[in-house]
Amino acid sequence: QVQLVESGGGSVQAGGSLRLSCEPFIRITSDYCMAWFRQAPGKEREGVARIHNGASSAYYYYAESVKGRFTISQDPAKNMMYLQMNSLKPEDTAMYYCAAGPASRDHCGSGDWTAAYWGQGTQVTVSS
């Protein structure tokens, strides 16, 4: 059963922008960590960004390779998550996956958090 659905991928030229969306078919509460991962052909899966919108304050994580260019956000009212990608580079080309799982803010920020739910991915291709 599909529990997360990504959309918004496509082909753009370097320097362009794309906005990925993730629609969960599970109820995301404030005790959830949500994330974007990507995997390029022949490479390991890479964590791109994470967000935890807890009761006290939001937690954000970005991989060094995307800091300053990508922004992760949530819209709890719509139960949606987004990844705004600006200044795209050819090395951003990959299949992008939405992921989610219950976690505290600290666990979301730790290196050992693993997702319980995954989407099927949306392809992003950046040409030079």
Please choose, from the candidates 46, 54, 7, the residue with its C-alpha nearest in 3D space to the C-alpha of residue 28.
Answer: 54
Assign 1 a pLDDT band (cuts: 50, 70, 90): low
Residue 2's pLDDT is 62
pLDDT category at 48 given cuts 50, 70, 90 is very high
Q: Which 3 state secondary structure label does DSSP give 94?
A: strand
pLDDT bucket at 28, cuts 50 / 70 / 90? confident
pLDDT digits (tens, 9 = 90+) for 94-120: 999 999 999 998 899 887 899 999 999
Rounded CA-CA distance 84/36 in Å is 11
